[in-house]
Amino acid sequence: MQRVVFNAHWLTYFDDASTRFYESLGFDAKQTFVEQKNFDVMVVKAVLEWQGSATFDDEVRIAVRPERIGNKSYDLRFTANVGEKTVCVGTISYVSIVPGKKESAPIPATLREKLEHAKSLP
């Protein structure tokens, strides 16, 4: 046991943080994008970079910010801190898809507008 957060758990933490981020944009976590707006997203790439470590019982705070917004995909940047120290940074790329078909599709205007607004915040 290395006494630090296992590397794969960071993706779970970031997935939970993305759910809270989407809630902050007005999407209800109890309903999927599919049910609310007839679109969905899938992860196509995840990059994690460690700058420190988190250990048992540390309080980890995760900030989420849109970083790149393309035509059919976008990146969210996750910054995990323990106190004032950044311990892990992740960039996850999502592609907009047609529900049930797994075909890429343009990012819906509803989502694009909210991502662009969140990206512009200080």
Q: Helix or strand or coil: residue 52?
A: coil
Q: What is the pLDDT of residue 6?
A: 87
Per-residue pLDDT, 98: 87
Query: Based on the structure, what is the number of domains in the chain?
Result: 1
Which are the contacts of 4, defined by CB distance < 8 A and separation ≥ 6? Answer: 53, 54, 55
- The whole-number pLDDT of residue 34 equals 67
Q: What is the pLDDT along the chain (122 residues), one digit of tens a residue?
A: 678 888 899 999 999 999 999 999 988 766 766 676 678 889 999 999 999 999 888 999 999 999 999 999 999 999 999 999 999 999 999 999 988 888 999 999 989 999 999 999 98
- Whether 1 is covered by a domain: the verdict is no
Q: Residue 67 sits in a domain of what CATH number?
A: 3.10.129.10
Q: How far apart are CA 61 and CA 39, in angstroms?
A: 29
Instruction: Evaluate whether residue 4 is within a structural domain.
Output: no
